[in-house]
Structure 1
Amino acid sequence: MAVSGFEGFEKRLELHFNGDDNGLAAVKLGLRRIDFDSINKVLRLVQCDVVSAVGNHFFDAYVLSESSLFVYPTKMIIKTCGTTQVLKSIWPLIRLANDLGLTLCGCRYTRGSFIFPKSQPFPHVSFKQEVVYIEENLPDNLCFRKASVMLSKLPSCSWHVFSAGNGDHFLSGDTFTVEVCMTGLDRVMARKFFQTNHHSSAAKGIENINPRAFVCDLEFDPCGYSMNGVDGDRYSTIHVTPEEGFSYASFECVGSVYDDQDDIFHTLKKAVQVFKPATVSVSTTSHQREGRTRVARAMEPLGLNCRSFAMDKFPAAGTIVFQTFTAARRK
């Protein structure tokens, strides 16, 4: 393990808003009306920039210099890696939304365990400090709050969650969110994410994960990769840090609880299969608890065994199930 290197584990912030017009904001542009310069100013506080963008009828997706940003009419998700300070975006984003007549009604913050925790700047020096900072920047109407560390039997593999809501809004609604963190990537696959190899996303296997999605991606110099997939009103995103000793990849996707959920877990299986990691952690967020067995069924054919399981309920977010898996010893 390297003493210090690039931190692959992302910090993920999700903010939900409602409008003064009794819900009509949801069918308008809403947060998508925030101009590009204002978004950039917020991102500079976070310590990242927009490098590419794509949008459709439903939302806008931005590939950042440090991961991704998704903007829906009443929802915003910002996910950043490295030593970014994503929580510094909370109050500026609230102000921008207020200028559009939108009020914050829900917040969720999640992350894994940092590989290099001592390299993180304020307010990310500890989960306790992160929670204090979030609560100081949230309005009083988000009075239902909970912070928890979902532990794992694996060392340095826990899931940190903070959620807050006003009691009237559920962040997940009918959405099913899957967040995947992978470490110890297959060395042959990891080498494809160094720019000198010039492998296309198809050659890496990325485009095959969800063939329906329009892929907006970027290869970083000298190494690293980020991708946003746009499929109707749903996004997926992949980020890769391929360096030996602290290799890491993440995959995130969303679906509806009314869909055939076998489809989303088949997508999960294909994503993990691309990277052949030694360790995988999977967090699922929804108002259902059935994801546990489906995740395990998706991982078992890949030679990944479940090592730990945790489940908890969070205000506005619903039920979060966190599972960790490890691969059999590689030959």
Structure 2
Amino acid sequence: MLSVAAVKYSRGSFIFPGAQPAPHRSFSEEVAVLNQFFGCLASGGSAYVMGDPDVPNCNWHVYYATEKPELPMVTLEMCMTGLNNERAKVFFKNSELGHVSSAEEMTKDSGICDIIPEMEICDFEFDPCGYSMNGINGKALSTIHVTPEDGFSYASYEAMGFEPDAISYNNLIERVLRCFEPLDFSVAVTIFGGRPAASSYGRKLWIDGYNSKDLVQQELPRGGLVMYQSFMLSTERPASPRSILHCWESEEAEKRVTGKEMVF
């Protein structure tokens, strides 16, 4: 039987928190269940709520436990809401013209196939709307889930196991945003195994056409780091968001906000 070496559970804030079944009615409830299974690992279970405490519906939740230090790896997670209507239409199975779209067409027409072109993609469309995919390329993995209905449209993107030096941070964000053009989005980057990728993926991100709402850094047990940033559209939606990555000259400036650890 295989033993668990490490576990990380992360999510944003629920759009409809009151509609969640147990054990997702609160983060405390989720952590209690996770600790039943993974609290026995050497680091113990650690839980964090990252974000502005004055905006409780825009936070990032992280649970982490590990038996030993992780191997070097970068994970990028994005949550997007308020998708552009034209972009969202791609993920409806039946179009206004009567055409029935396949998952393969959604992958191509949305531009998802161009985010990391080397990925071999297994995609799926839902009826009457919605989309999901998993991608793989060697050790690199990615996944996308889309709920396109107007009023509560949502998309998530996650990539891990890729070579940070081979994929530009700003280009990766730009490609994802081009597929959905959201009103609001967040980016969470988790870095394990030292900080070789911190020179690119561990920096503040500036997005043309968006205002930065929050920036939080949180140390994880055994040398991990999570950087969480959230953004909202600043003016009228740009035709194609362009991501620009700026370096901060001062490490102190990056530490404007720190994560809040939850003790259980």
Identify the TM-score tier after normalising by the shorter chain: 0.7 to 0.9
Question: Runs of at least 4 residues of structure 1 off by over 6 A?
Answer: none
CA shift in 2, pair 1:182/1:317, >3 Å: farther
Match of 2:44 in 1: 144
Q: Which amino acid aligns with 2:179?
A: V
Deviations 1:69-127 (A, max 9, x none): xxxxxxxxxxxxxxxxxxxxxxxxxxxxx3xxx21121111110001111111111100
**How far apart, in 2, do the equivalents of 1:141 and 1:209 lie?**
36
Q: Specify which structure has the higher proportion of helix.
A: 1
Q: How many residues matched?
A: 223
Match of 2:225 in 1: 319
CA shift in 2, pair 1:181/1:239, >3 Å: same
Match of 1:230 in 2: 136
**How far apart, in 1, do the equivalents of 2:124 and 2:178 lie?**
21
Tell whether the 8 Å contact from 1:154 to 1:307 is kept in structure 2 after alignment: no
CA shift in 2, pair 1:164/1:273, >3 Å: same
Match of 1:133 in 2: 33
| Match status 1:162 vs 2:63 | yes
**How far apart, in 2, do the equivalents of 1:130 and 1:324 lie?**
23
**How far apart, in 2, do the equivalents of 1:309 and 1:262 lie?**
22
| Match status 1:248 vs 2:154 | yes
Q: Which has the higher contact order (CA 8 A, sep 6+)?
A: 2
Task: Tell me the percent identity.
Answer: 37
Match of 1:67 in 2: none
Q: Which amino acid aligns with 2:23?
A: P
Aligned-residue CA RMSD (Å): 2.0
Match of 2:15 among 71, 96, 115: 115
How far the C-alpha of 1:260 sits from its partner, in A, is 1.5
Q: Secondary structure at 1:260's aligned position in 2?
A: coil
Tell whether the 8 Å contact from 1:108 to 1:317 is kept in structure 2 after alignment: no
Match of 1:277 among 158, 178, 182: 182
Tell whether the 8 Å contact from 2:184 to 2:233 is kept in structure 1 after alignment: yes
| Match status 1:210 vs 2:116 | yes
Q: Secondary structure at 1:133's aligned position in 2?
A: helix
Tell whether the 8 Å contact from 2:143 to 2:157 is kept in structure 1 after alignment: yes
